[in-house]
Structure 1
């Protein structure tokens, strides 16, 4: 029994060491702006966003990495160990939905992510005049990209537009709001308004549609034939006149 006990002794130390390291690794974590779990950060275009990543529960120097989406952020040497900061300035609309992630260099599974929630209104204002011939098609397009998205509607002469079947079609994505009119008629004359309604305000753009008379259409073959006839008549006239002149002389 004594021998068995003496043989077991040397193998107990590594087991204890592994358990100790596992506990240390489990306690180590990162925080970004005091958040230890992934979070969303609301901001606005033109502002500055500062993100600070901090190593917690570690007794040694730990290198940190920052990622913007899948791309690695280039950090200066003094901004990598235990504490690392990144700034986004100025914030733009294109930053909306972008994820910034701080990771532990030696173990990328230890990480915290922040998603930017950039709130902005659509660039929708002013007016536009459109002249279109009768029986042709026309499309009115509004830039309605915004965050958050808001209800949209089309108006004609300040009244909610009634969509005529087979003539009016509405197409909408997260960025544009379109109204297409097939074979415009004189009755389509008027001011069309693209309206986006937010709780705090409304954004709009006016389109002044002017339907013009159709241009007269001439048969191409008839025009060519007429030109040929006139040309030949003139040539024959010149030839006949020249013969008379020669006879006089």
Structure 2
């Protein structure tokens, strides 16, 4: 006859089994409080791009959906947390960007559930604006030296840039004039500057939203050594011709 377990041991086994079965039943009857919960920015539950323009203000609203209890929301601008007032965190939260500037272009705003930050939704700002030009207004260079005019360009959509001199199309001389251009800067380099290079240069940026211009004044100062060499060469040339 096989040995029998004491009654207290049998009861412990039964209690353990009942507890496990009860936990399984409870999980089936009451799913996680996060089940089906999602966030929406401006009524969009998926990440999206918002196209806008420069202006006084832009409103972003985040709301929780399918929640069974109050939840706290948090906002991020890029990787940095946004400070929110106490009354602007529970179940719904609002951000106001004022004013909207070119620095907001390409920035992502993300709304997250504080209790489970894997639940989130983001909006990427596409701020469109006319070209904005900047750079040093006036430059001085010695004759025979190298000089570079730098025109900084901010534009969305991207602008096409051209250079003019004294209100006319700039004629580029091989080996003396070079233009280097990226999405944010256009550089006009002049090698061994001459007196003839002196004048008013204009950086012209065109996009689908309009045209902007910026003037650069270039002054070429006499180089005594270069002038002396030119006089000497002229003298030698005259002597040879005689």
TM-score norm. by structure 1 comes to 0.73
Decide which structure has the larger Cα Rg and report it.
1
Q: Matches of 1:124 and 1:79 in 2, distance apart?
A: 39
Bigger mean CA deviation after superposition, 183-192 or 51-60: 183-192
- RMSD of aligned alpha carbons: 3.1
- 1:86 maps to which residue? 95
Count of equivalent residues: 214
Aligned CA distance change for structure 1 residues 209 and 76 (closer, same or farther; 3 Å):
closer
One of 110, 127, 140 as aligned partner of 1:118: 127
| Whole-Å separation in 1 of the counterparts to 2:160 and 2:64 | 44
Tell me, yes or no, if structure 1 residue 195 matches structure 2 residue 204.
yes
Q: 1:127 to 1:85 in 2, by over 3 A?
A: closer
- Per the alignment, residue 181 of structure 1 pairs with 190
- Equivalent residues in 2 for 1:65-76 (5 A)? 65-76=74-85
Q: Which residue, out of 100, 109, 124, partners 2:118?
A: 109
Q: Could you give the per-residue CA deviations for residues 53-97 of structure 1, whole angstroms, max 9, x where no partner exists?
A: 111011211111111122222222221111111211122222222
Provide the secondary structure at the position in 2 that maps to 1:146.
Answer: strand
> What secondary structure does 2:196 align onto?
helix
For residues 175 and 22 of structure 1, the distance between their equivalents in structure 2, rounded to whole angstroms, comes to 52
Deviation at 1:212, TM superposition (A): 4.2
Q: Given the superposition, is the C-alpha separation of residues 25 and 130 from structure 1 closer, same or farther in structure 2, using an over 3 Å criterion?
A: closer
Q: Which residue of 2 aligns with 1:32?
A: 41
| Residue 43 (structure 1) shift | 2.5
Q: Which runs of 5 or more residues in structure 2 are unaligned?
A: 1-15, 227-242
User: For residues 10 and 211 of structure 1, do their structure 2 counterparts lie closer, same or farther at Cα, with a shift above 3 Å needed?
Assistant: closer
Map Cα deviations across residues 106-156 of structure 1 (whole Å, 9 max, x no partner). 110100111222222233389945454321222212121122211112233
2:80 and 2:96 map into 1 onto residues whose CA distance is: 15
Structural mapping, 1:134-213, within 5 Å: 134-213=143-222
Offset of residue 159 of structure 1: 4.6
Question: Helix, strand or coil: the match of 1:40?
Answer: strand
Give the SS at the match of 2:23.
helix
How far apart, CA to CA, are the structure 2 residues paired with 1:216 and 1:8?
A: 102
Cα deviations by residue, 1:140-196 (Å, 9 ceiling, x for unpaired): 121211222111122334454343333223233443211111111233244322111
Distance change in 2, residues 1:178/1:111 (3 Å)? same
Give the CA deviation at 1:38. Answer: 0.9
Instruction: Please tell me whether residue 51 in structure 1 is matched to residue 89 in structure 2.
Output: no
